[in-house]
Amino acid sequence: MKTRILDITPNRLLKATLTALNVSLNVSIAAAGGLLTTSCTTSSSEYTDPDKAEILDDRWSETDLKKTASFLVDQVLARPWLQEYKTKNGGKAPVVIVDQIENRTDEVIDTKAMTDYVQDELINSRKVRFVSDVNVRKRLLDELKYQNSGAVSEKTAKKTGNQTGADFMLEGSVTSSVHSKDGGGEKTVYYLTTMRLTNIETGEIEWTGKKELKKAFKKAGFGL
């Protein structure tokens, strides 16, 4: 039997030690990188005050919606048309229908939410009365037709011809224009929301109002 002699010269021993240290170092770096990645991608969330004004970017926001709608509601209720109508009609509040506000911008703006906000504010003011919008009235008409088709008892069927007609229609639109400079680093967005109140019987425009918003946005640079 031959005896195997191991080479444990100083050079061979030093090389093996360095190799082991290198492997250990690579493992430590990989582990640290994993922890760093995990910590960088960790996110958190919390409830904030919905009435707090926030500007996160240059796009239309819920803050813009509330500021614009509140301003226009206050304006339409403060104009002479309202008192003039009440004086002519024994103090009775006018009946208003709100048409959906149009979005004439290049952005995705929830004008349905804005229309609902305007309607809610007007109803809660108790200064005007409301009837449902066109879509709801069509569904109501379908229900009335069904109730008077003979399928529902005469005692519980609601009669046609008793709905309240609106005196005025409130409608509006949102437009915007964008200006940028310095290769897009600075941008200004101008929003214009206009609304008008029309007498349904005469076709006369009783009130018009507008709200302007101008937002300046500058991209922040990042560097090491």
For residue 180, the cross-strand partners are 187
Spans in the chain with pLDDT lower than 70? 1-58, 182-184, 220-224
Q: Does the predicted model carry a pTM greater than 0.85?
A: no
Instruction: Using alpha carbons, select from 94, 81, 111 the residue that is nearest to residue 165.
Output: 94
Angle CA(120)–CA(117)–CA(211) in degrees, nearest 5?
Answer: 120
pLDDT score for 134: 84
Structure-block tokens of residue 204? 């006369």
Predicted confidence at residue 224, as pLDDT, reads: 43
Length of the chain: 224
- Domains of the chain as residue ranges with CATH: 62-131+166-218 (3.40.50)
Distance CA 143, CA 2 (A): 105
